[in-house]
Structure 1
């Protein structure tokens, strides 16, 4: 399971650590942020203790109106063993009761000068990215006409060579050999290269080349949304390949289904050009133009007329 340490959040957003230093290695397991307004009023029945708690001007203003005993009770219930951290927005003063409870429970109390809404949005986006489901697959990811194309296939089938030809034709390389994929949204997958091999491309017989150094910064991208999977395989004369394009195959990556094409590889086929056309055809389908479907309809009409 993916996790983020509180210390990483502190360093990323340059938050001020007020107290509870012994808890900075606590793990954050969810991207949800809680603003405990009802809890300040004493309702802890459904308190989501596993979330980062954000206290803003509204919560602290109400808290200040409570009696001394109520304030102590609220903060003792707010700071639990599960609570990863409590963040104060707007640079507001931290209540003494919170400092005492956080030190006893080991819950880090952090402070930022940002407004509550902005701070909540930034932390949520950061945690969603870090905690998103991820996987790593063998393949090549390229940006072709704005379409993220993931090339897969057996080793030696020509994925890297196809990517090199695409780069020469003005497209951009994202990752070669190993592609790290994360679930960025409900139906959105984003791929990138591991830091060690970023911008590098391996060509058998030539070795490893740096695409950005050879072709310039415009020839690479650090990440790209994956829209289409193209599987390269050696030509099998006994296999029947799709010649019309009516059947759309889909492959599941993490929790998302992506359109998948199978391209047979044999001498004389210009794979880079075919990948370009496949990308343009994908964009055309998204605009509502399905050439294969239109041909099928015209063919059926011709048969009926006869």
Structure 2
């Protein structure tokens, strides 16, 4: 994990979050971890291992327990919960915020946020957002396209035709995520997310034409903000002496962070319709993930034919 996120960014990006108090402190309070804390032991007075750097989430359990305290004890506990690095308090289910929490938070310049969602859903939304924003990132050269809901990263040397192929795919109804530079981060043990840098969002560069705005030309349905990267297709200039996989049984992998992503190499030659080939490759990969492998079916048919011919002899 790396970087920080301000509480203001959290409020701006996550729906169903409203500011109860401390609006003036949103930009100065920074979040450095995706972990969320529900202060249980702390409400009993145990602060030996208090994770003050985390967002402090209050649900029905925490609020109900706090309401059983005296006002003096409640204020004491709330002041202890206001650590120097505590980014904010979040109260779920639109529960009433105790006056002592508001007083302590204002004293220590800590915002209080509220949500109508149940506590577990608030926690999940916060964690998903923070894991993406705080994750280690890297930039890859390529074009990322959504093909039938499958994130396909098209790579290859400069000038091989990646952007032109992406334009053909967009015209066939698929969606652009990023052109030229793709920012990627690992979401979990099996998922890598790709998106466009802010400056390149919705833009596509076509040699001889220049930069085009895909959303403006083709509509909102032609773009997408981000997607999982499920398949990498590498475009390579065709060479007579170079061997390419013809049966689809030479599986390649590319490791991005800790995730292995399947890779297919496609030769680029004059007259080949790369958009249709990539579209077919994506559909074929999806069929494999659903249990049907055309290569294995061919091998099975071939073995049956050999067996039949052997029996006739």
TM range (shorter): 0.7 to 0.9
Residue 157 of structure 2 aligns with which residue?
154
SS of equivalent residue, structure 1 residue 15: strand
Q: Using the TM superposition, give the Cα deviation of residue 68 of structure 1 relative to its aligned residue in structure 2, in angstroms.
A: 5.9
Q: Using the TM superposition, give the Cα deviation of residue 248 of structure 1 relative to its aligned residue in structure 2, in angstroms.
A: 1.3
Q: 1:294 to 1:154 in 2, by over 3 A?
A: same
1:135-169 residue CA offsets vs partner (Å, 9 max, x unmatched): 22111112223322110011001111111222233
CA distance in 2, matches of 1:255, 1:234: 29
CA distance in 2, matches of 1:169, 1:18: 49
Q: Using the TM superposition, give the Cα deviation of residue 53 of structure 1 relative to its aligned residue in structure 2, in angstroms.
A: 0.5
Query: Given the alignment, which residue of 279, 283, 302 partners 2:282?
Result: 279
Q: 1:72 to 1:147 in 2, by over 3 A?
A: closer
SS of equivalent residue, structure 1 residue 8: helix
Q: Using the TM superposition, give the Cα deviation of residue 179 of structure 1 relative to its aligned residue in structure 2, in angstroms.
A: 1.7
Residue 190 of structure 1 aligns with which residue?
193
SS of equivalent residue, structure 2 residue 167: helix
Query: Given the alignment, which residue of 89, 93, 98 partners 2:97?
Result: 93
CA distance in 2, matches of 1:173, 1:28: 31
Normalised by the size of structure 1, how large is the TM-score? 0.85
Residue 137 of structure 1 aligns with which residue?
140
1:231-253 residue CA offsets vs partner (Å, 9 max, x unmatched): 11112333322121112111112
CA distance in 1, matches of 2:306, 2:181: 49
Residue 2 of structure 1 aligns with which residue?
3
RMSD: 2.8
Residue 169 of structure 1 aligns with which residue?
172
Q: 1:165 to 1:11 in 2, by over 3 A?
A: closer
Residue 20 of structure 2 aligns with which residue?
16
Q: Is the 8 A contact 1:10 1:16 kept in 2?
A: no
Query: Given the alignment, which residue of 112, 115, 138 partners 2:114?
Result: 112
Residue 47 of structure 2 aligns with which residue?
44
CA distance in 2, matches of 1:148, 1:48: 37
CA distance in 2, matches of 1:30, 1:42: 24
CA distance in 1, matches of 2:149, 2:11: 35
Runs of at least 4 residues off by over 6 Å: none
CA distance in 2, matches of 1:158, 1:23: 45
CA distance in 1, matches of 2:25, 2:273: 60
Unaligned runs of 5+ in 2: none
CA distance in 2, matches of 1:146, 1:130: 23
Q: Using the TM superposition, give the Cα deviation of residue 77 of structure 1 relative to its aligned residue in structure 2, in angstroms.
A: 3.2
CA distance in 2, matches of 1:146, 1:59: 41
Q: Using the TM superposition, give the Cα deviation of residue 94 of structure 1 relative to its aligned residue in structure 2, in angstroms.
A: 2.8
Q: Using the TM superposition, give the Cα deviation of residue 268 of structure 1 relative to its aligned residue in structure 2, in angstroms.
A: 2.6
SS of equivalent residue, structure 2 residue 112: strand
Decide which moves more: 162-171 or 147-156: 162-171
CA distance in 1, matches of 2:39, 2:153: 43
Paired residues, what number? Answer: 303
Q: 1:74 to 1:116 in 2, by over 3 A?
A: farther
Q: Is the 8 A contact 1:88 1:109 kept in 2?
A: no
Q: Is the 8 A contact 2:18 2:115 kept in 1?
A: no
CA distance in 1, matches of 2:29, 2:175: 40
Query: Given the alignment, which residue of 222, 229, 240 partners 1:226?
Result: 229
Q: Using the TM superposition, give the Cα deviation of residue 304 of structure 1 relative to its aligned residue in structure 2, in angstroms.
A: 6.1
CA distance in 2, matches of 1:272, 1:132: 32
Q: 1:92 to 1:110 in 2, by over 3 A?
A: same
Residue 131 of structure 2 aligns with which residue?
128
